[in-house]
Structure 1
Amino acid sequence: MVKITLGKKLSLGFLVALIGSLIITSIISNLRISNEFSKYLVDEHNTKINEIVKFIEDSYNKDNGFSSDSQEAMVRNANMNELYIEVRDNSGNIIFSSGNSYMQHKNMMNSMMGGGKSSMMGGLSNINSGEYKEEKHELNKDNSVVGTIIIGYYGSSYFSSNSLTFINNLNQSFIISFFITLIFGLAISFLLSRQIASPLEKITKTASDMRKGNLGARSNIKSNTKEIEELAFSINYLAETLQNQEELRKRLTSDMAHEIRTPLTTLKTHVEALIDGIWEPSKERFQVFYEELDRLSKLVNILRNISKLEQAGITLNKSKFNLSSEIENIVDTFKPIFMRKNCLITVEITENIIVYMDKDNLKQMLHNLLSNANNYLEINGRVKVSLFQKIDHIIIEVEDNGIGISEKDLPYIFERFYRSDISRAKNTGGSGLGLTITKSLVEANGGKIQVESKIGEGTVFSIKFPKIICA
C-alpha cells in the first residue's frame, strides 16, 4: 500500500473538497439562473406579442382596414422583432401580411442560436432555437371578433442580441470565478496543510531521534494550534523524563558496580591470603567474610526490589486491622536499632483507628521511612511517628531532626534510582529506590505522600489516606 505524507493528504483533501464544492455550486447556480432567465425571456416575448396584438387592434378600421402608415409600422415591427405577422378576416381572407423577410433570416438566426447555446454551461432548455411556431390571437374591434391575428416566429426570436451578450458574459463570469476561486483555494489549502503538517513532521523527527537513542532531542515547535502545541510539550516531557531515567540508571549501575566490587575484592584478598598461608583461619577472619557476604546479600535484595518496581502493578491483599496498634508494633521493632546510635524514637498515636488495607504494604512503607531516617540521623537524634485523623483523612507522619534534604534534591527524591550527593557520600548502600517503592505502595492503597525538609533541621514525611479505607 502506497503511503503519502500528511501534508500531501491534507492538500489533496482540501483540493477535492474545493473542486467538488465549486462544481456543485456552479451547476446549481447555472441551472437556477438558466431557468429564471428562460422564464424572463418567455415573459418578455409574451409581453411583446401582446403589445403587437394591441397595436394591430388599435390600427384596424372595420371599413377601411389598415392605413398605409399602419401597415408600414407593422412591417417594421415584424422585421425588428423577427416575426411573421398575418391578419385575416372572419372569412379567412388575408388583409395584411408582413411578408417573408423574417423567413429569410431563419438560417442566420439558427446559426446564431446554435453558437449561443453551445457556449452556455447549462443551456436554456425551455427554449428551442430551431422550431417554428405560430400563435393565433383574436382580432377584436368594438367588443366583437372581426378576424384573426397570426404571429409566427422561431424559437430564436426569444433571444435578442442583449440576451445573448448577457448569457456569454454570465458564462465567462462563471469560468473566471471558478479558476480564481480554485487558485485561491489551492493557496489556502497549501498554507493550512503546511501549518499542520510541518510541526508534526518536526515532532515525528524528534520522536524518531529518541527512538534511535538521542534522548537529548527536543521539539522546538511554536504553533497557534492547541493540540499541536500540547503534543510537542508531551514529546519534550517524555524525552526529558527518559533522559533523566537513563542518567539515573547509569548512575545506579556505576554505584552498584562500585559497591559490589568492594566486598568481592575484600573476599578475594582474604581468600588468597588464606590459600598462600599468610593468614591462619580464625573466627575474626570468618567474621569479615560473613560481613562482606551480608553486604552482597543486601545488594541482591536491592536488585530484587528493582525487578519488583518494574512490574506493571502492585497486587493488594487487603484486610481489616487496627492501624494504631500496628504502627506501635512497627515502632517497637525499630527501637533497638535507634538505641544503638543513642537516638530516640517516640510516637503520638490516636487509638483504635480501624482500616481496611494491605498490612504488608503498610509495614514496608514505615520500614523504608524509618530506615531512611535512621541512616541520616546524627548521634542523639530524634524521630517521631504520629497518627491522627481529620474529617475525611487519616494522616501518618514520620518526623526527624536529621541532616535534612537540600532544596535542589527535594523535587526528585521519589524518582527511581535518585540519590542525593549527601546520600552518596555516606556509606549507606542505598539504591535510590526506597522512597520510590514507598510512594508506589502509598498510591496503590489510595493515598498520597509528601515531604518537607530543610538542611540541618530535619525532614517530615506525611502519608495521607482517604477516610474511606476505615472499616
Structure 2
Amino acid sequence: MRQGRGSLARRLLVGQTLVVLGMTVSIVVVAALVGPAVFNDHMRRAGHGGQPDVLEHAQEAFYSAGLQSIGVGLLVAAAGALLVSLVTTRRLGKWLDALSRGAVRVSAGRYDQPVQLAGSSPELERVADAFNGMAAQIQTTEARRRTLLTDVAHELRTPIATIDVTLEALEDGVLAPGPDTYATLRAQSARLARLASDIRDVSAAEEGRLRLSTEVTSIWDVVEASASQWRQRFEEAGVTLIHTAGPDIALHADRARIGQAMDNLLANALRHTPAGGHVEIRSSHSRGHVAIEVVDDGEGIAPEALPHVMERFYRADPARPRTDGSGTGVGLAIAHAVARAHDGDLQAASQGPGRGATFTLSLPSSPNLHRS
C-alpha cells in the first residue's frame, strides 16, 4: 500500500497524534489553572495559611511533583496510544490493500482469488464477504455471457446459412421464386425471431430480471388453453395429446408466463415423440403445491443427460441438428426459469432412452384459493 501524504493510514496516524497532543495540552493547562488554587485552599484549611515559607515550599514541591508525574504519565500514555494507533493503522492499511488488490484482480478478469482479511473486524469481514460474493456473481455472469455468445453464434449459423443459400440460388436462377421458396425464407426468418425472443427471456431470467404480472389464476384454464392451442399440431404430427383432468386450483401466478412454460414443455414433448406416440398432461395438488406433469412415451433421456436437459442450447445428442426450426434450444431453460420465478421448480425424469420422459412443473398454490 502506498504510504504517501494522502494515504488513509498516514491520515489516521496524524489525526490520532493530534488528538494525543491536544489531550496533553488540555491536561497541562487545566492542571496549571486549577491545581494551585485547590492546593492553596487545602493548605489554608490545614492551618498553614499564615506560614508563607511553608506555603511557598509546599507549592514548589506540588508544582515539581505534579509536573513530573503528569509529564511522565502523559509520555507513557502518548507512547502507548501512538503505538496502538500505529499498529492499528498498519493493520487497517494491510486490509485495505488486500481489498484494493482484489478489486484490481477483478477488473483484470481474475475472479478465482477471493479476498482474505484474516484477523480483521466483523465489519471488514462482511465487506470482504460482500466483495467476494460480487466477484463470484461477476464471474458467473461473465461465464454465461461467453457461453451465450458461443451458443448464439452456433445457433444462428443454420438459419443464416439456409437463407444465404436460398437467396444465392434465387440470384443464380437455380431456384425459382414460389410458395415453397418463400415458405423456407419465412420459416428461417421466424426461427431467427424466436431465437432472439427466447434468448432475451432466458437472459432476463438468469439475471433475475424476469418480470411477473401475477393474478389469481385458474391452473385448469391455463393448462386447457395450452392443450387446445397445441392439439392440432399434435394431430398433424400423428401424436396423441391427452389431457387428464385434475382438481381446479387457483393460484397467484403470471398467466402468460405459465402458459409460456407449458408451450415450451409441449413443444419439447412433441419434438421428441414419434408419430403414433402419446403425450399426456396431468394436474394434481398436494401439500400446498400444484404439479403439472407432461408425460411422453418418446425418445427418453439418458441418465447422464438428465442433469443438463434444462441448460440452454443443450443437446442430449450433439449429432442431431435443429435443422427443422422446431426449437431454439432454450425452451426448457425458459420453462425452468419461469417456475423458479414463481418460487416453484421444474424437474425432468426418464427411465432411459426409448422409455419416454416426464417433466413436472411444480408451483406453490395460494392459501384459501382451492376450488372444489
TM-score normalised according to structure 1 size: 0.60
Q: Structure 1 residues 312 and 382 mapped into 2: Cα distance closer, same or farther (>3 Å)?
A: closer
Tell me the residue number matched to 2:13: 11
Tell me the residue number matched to 1:364: 260
Matched, 1:199 2:57: no
Matched, 1:41 2:28: no
Matched, 1:255 2:151: yes
Letter in 2 for 1:439: A
Letter in 2 for 1:422: A
Matched, 1:467 2:359: no
Letter in 2 for 1:295: R
Q: Is the 8 A contact 1:267 1:289 kept in 2?
A: yes
Q: Structure 1 residues 294 and 370 mapped into 2: Cα distance closer, same or farther (>3 Å)?
A: same
Matched, 1:245 2:141: yes
Structure 1 residue 284, shift from structure 2 partner: 5.1
| Largest Rg, 1 or 2 | 1
Q: CA RMSD in A?
A: 4.2
Tell me the residue number matched to 1:398: 293
Structure 1 residue 188, shift from structure 2 partner: 0.8
Structure 1 residue 156, shift from structure 2 partner: 3.7
Partners of 1:23 and 1:423 lie apart in 2 by 83
Tell me the residue number matched to 1:90: none
Partner of 1:396: helix, strand, or coil? strand
Unaligned runs of 5+ in 2: none
Structure 1 residue 205, shift from structure 2 partner: 3.7
Q: Is the 8 A contact 1:394 1:465 kept in 2?
A: yes
Matched, 1:221 2:116: yes
Cα distance per residue 1:179-201 (max 9 Å; x no partner): 22112111211222233343233
Q: Is the 8 A contact 1:450 1:463 kept in 2?
A: yes
Letter in 1 for 2:301: I
Q: Is the 8 A contact 1:395 1:464 kept in 2?
A: yes
Partners of 1:397 and 1:230 lie apart in 2 by 42
Partner of 1:467: helix, strand, or coil? coil
Structure 1 residue 10, shift from structure 2 partner: 3.1
Letter in 2 for 1:275: E
Q: Is the 8 A contact 2:284 2:291 kept in 1?
A: yes
Letter in 1 for 2:328: G
Q: Is the 8 A contact 1:368 1:438 kept in 2?
A: no
Q: Is the 8 A contact 1:406 1:454 kept in 2?
A: no
**Aligned counterpart for 2:222 among listed residues 326, 335, 345:** 326
Q: Structure 1 residues 313 and 261 mapped into 2: Cα distance closer, same or farther (>3 Å)?
A: closer
Structure 1 residue 448, shift from structure 2 partner: 0.5
Matched, 1:387 2:284: yes
Structure 1 residue 462, shift from structure 2 partner: 1.9
Q: Structure 1 residues 26 and 324 mapped into 2: Cα distance closer, same or farther (>3 Å)?
A: farther
Q: Is the 8 A contact 2:252 2:365 kept in 1?
A: no
Unaligned runs of 5+ in 1: 47-126, 128-134, 136-152
Tell me the residue number matched to 1:422: 316
Matched, 1:314 2:211: yes
Letter in 2 for 1:38: N
Cα distance per residue 1:2-58 (max 9 Å; x no partner): x94432343344334444444445555676665554344334544xxxxxxxxxxxx
Q: Is the 8 A contact 2:251 2:365 kept in 1?
A: no
Q: Is the 8 A contact 2:281 2:293 kept in 1?
A: yes
Cα distance per residue 1:140-174 (max 9 Å; x no partner): xxxxxxxxxxxxx5x343144x7644541331121
Cα distance per residue 1:194-244 (max 9 Å; x no partner): 33343233223433443x452536443133322222222222222222222
Q: Is the 8 A contact 1:356 1:469 kept in 2?
A: no
Partners of 2:132 and 2:306 lie apart in 1 by 22
Partners of 1:433 and 1:10 lie apart in 2 by 57
Q: Structure 1 residues 468 and 314 mapped into 2: Cα distance closer, same or farther (>3 Å)?
A: farther
Tell me the residue number matched to 1:64: none
Partners of 2:130 and 2:270 lie apart in 1 by 39
Q: Structure 1 residues 406 and 15 mapped into 2: Cα distance closer, same or farther (>3 Å)?
A: farther
Partners of 1:9 and 1:383 lie apart in 2 by 72
Q: Structure 1 residues 426 and 238 mapped into 2: Cα distance closer, same or farther (>3 Å)?
A: farther
Cα distance per residue 1:282-322 (max 9 Å; x no partner): 6655554444334233224335546866796726264x553
Matched, 1:439 2:337: yes
Partners of 1:249 and 1:227 lie apart in 2 by 33
Q: Structure 1 residues 426 and 407 mapped into 2: Cα distance closer, same or farther (>3 Å)?
A: closer
Identity %: 17
Partner of 2:344: helix, strand, or coil? strand
Q: Structure 1 residues 338 and 192 mapped into 2: Cα distance closer, same or farther (>3 Å)?
A: farther
Matches within 5 A, 1:54-203: 155-160=52-57, 164-165=60-61, 167-203=63-99
Letter in 2 for 1:464: P
Q: Structure 1 residues 246 and 301 mapped into 2: Cα distance closer, same or farther (>3 Å)?
A: same
